[in-house]
Copies of this chain bind each other. A is one copy, B any other.
Amino acid sequence: MNVTVSRKAHFNAAHRLYRKDWTDEKNSLIFGKCSNPNYHGHNYELIVSVTGEIDKETGYVIDIQFLKDIIKEEVEDAFDHKNLNVEVPEFKDLNPTAEHIAVVIYNKIKPKLKPNLHLEITLYETPRNFVSYSGK
Contacts and interface: CB of A to CB of B under 8 A. Distances in A.
Contacts of A40: 12-14, 41, 80-83
B6 A129 contact: yes
Contacts of A38: 14, 82-83, 86-87
Interface in A80-120: 80-83, 86-87, 94-95, 97-100, 102-103
Interface residues of A, number: 58
- How many copies of this chain sit in the oligomeric assembly? 6
Given A97-B59, A99-B60, A3 B132 contact: yes
Interface of A: 1-10, 12-15, 17, 30-34, 36, 38-43, 45, 54, 58-61, 64-65, 80-83, 86-87, 94-95, 97-100, 102-103, 126-133, 136
